[in-house]
Amino acid sequence: MTTLTPAATELTALLAHRRSPALGAFLPAGFPNWTAGIETLRAFTRHGADFLEIGVPTPTPTLDGPDITQAYTHALSQGAGMAHVLSTVRLAASSTGVPVIVMSYWAPVREFGATRFAQDLARAGAAGAMIPDLPLPEAAEWISAAHHAGLHTPQFVPRSVTDTQLDDRATAASGWLYAPAVSAPTGYRGDLDLCAFRAFTAQLRTRSPLPVVGGVGISTPRLASQVAPFVDAVVIGSPLIRPLLDRSAGGLEGALEQIRSFAHALHTPAPQHADPA
């Protein structure tokens, strides 16, 4: 990798040697609309988010549940595209002072051009991009382009990963390894098998020195507190998007209350033997 961009360096520093996990907040670019989306991201950082994850809207979010899918659909209906993503990254990064990571499926990146995507993200001030459905046999162009641009390439590690696949993802990763708490689409609101999740994160740490970031299924502050001993950060998305989709659930203030509650939970983690029920 060439020299990291200042944003990527900042992300590395944020996740290094933490006493409690960092909190990441996810929002699709262009949702609820372009202007409101920027203000929402800024508000997230004022109320406890340590970094931001901005989603690239797509009509086929195969790993996402109904909440994020609906948010993507809403953004696309208003014309959100890669230009909106790059503008959102630029404004969020420049006005919040926290690291910004982009989350995109592979199809939009392939269509836009992997090298162009990496260069434009670096210019916009992103710290990197995670592509959860990145087909590793086709990954070389993206990984090379991102590294030459000084960006991190966090890797999503499915719970069903084989040892060989895990080694491949660990090799391709920089910034972090992403550990879903469940093998389910985003928005899952059931209980977690904490013993299994602890074992999974421990397995990731045997393969890579990178930070481990948890998400998918960490649906409440209570669950965030319970997984806190196993991870270096937690990213939440659906708990923030639900109130923004349904004003009766609180709108922006409801989303900010979620941010505050999750941030508090991560700073006061439950004992590792906590009952997951």
**Catalytic residue flag (residue 133):** no
Catalytic residue among 50, 64, 120, 232: 64
pLDDT score at 178 = 98
**Global pTM value:** 0.94
CA distance 213 to 23: 9
| Residue 276 confidence class, pLDDT cut points 50, 70, 90 | very low
pLDDT over 90 (residue 137): no
pLDDT class for 277, splitting at 50, 70, 90? very low
Per-residue DSSP letters for the chain? --PPPHHHHHHHHHHTT-SS-EEEEEEETTSS-HHHHHHHHHHHHHTT-SEEEEE---S--TT--HHHHHHHHHHHHTT--HHHHHHHHHHHHHHH-S-EEEE--HHHHHHH-HHHHHHHHHHHT--EEE-TT--GGG-HHHHHHHHHTT-B--EE--TT--HHHHHHHHHH--S-EEEESSSS-TT--S---HHHHHHHHHHHHHH-SS-EEEESS--SHHHHHHHGGG-SEEEE-HHHHHHHH-GGGTHHHHHHHHHHHHHHHHHSPPPTT----
CA dist., res. 105 & res. 56, Å (int): 7
pLDDT of residue 251: 93
Write down the mean pLDDT value for the chain: 94
CA dist 128 and 140 (Å) reads 16
Residue 102 pLDDT exceeds 50: yes
Residue 19's φ and ψ, nearest 5 degrees, are -85, -25
| Contacting residues for 164 by C-beta, under 8 A, at least 6 apart | none
81 beta partners:
none
Residue 270 has pLDDT above 90, yes or no: no
Q: What is the pLDDT of residue 272?
A: 52
246 is catalytic: no
pLDDT mean over 91-98: 97
- Catalytic: which of 10, 50, 53, 120? 53
Residue 213's DSSP bridge partners are 178, 233
* Tens-place pLDDT, residues 5-29: 999 999 999 999 889 999 999 999 9
pLDDT tens readout for residues 161-219: 999 999 999 999 999 999 999 999 999 999 999 999 999 999 999 999 999 999 999 99
At position 143, the amino acid (one-letter code) is I
Res. 118: pLDDT tops 70? yes
Q: Would the pLDDT of 153 be above 90? A: yes
Which domains, from first to last, does the chain contain?
Answer: 6-267 (3.20.20.70)
How far apart CA 232 and CA 12 sit, in angstroms, is: 11
Give pLDDT tens digits for 212-255. 999 999 999 999 999 999 999 999 999 999 999 987 767 999 99
pLDDT at residue number 176: 98
Does pLDDT of 262 surpass 60? yes
33-54 tens-digit pLDDT: 989 999 999 999 999 999 999 9
Whether the predicted pLDDT of 140 surpasses 50 = yes
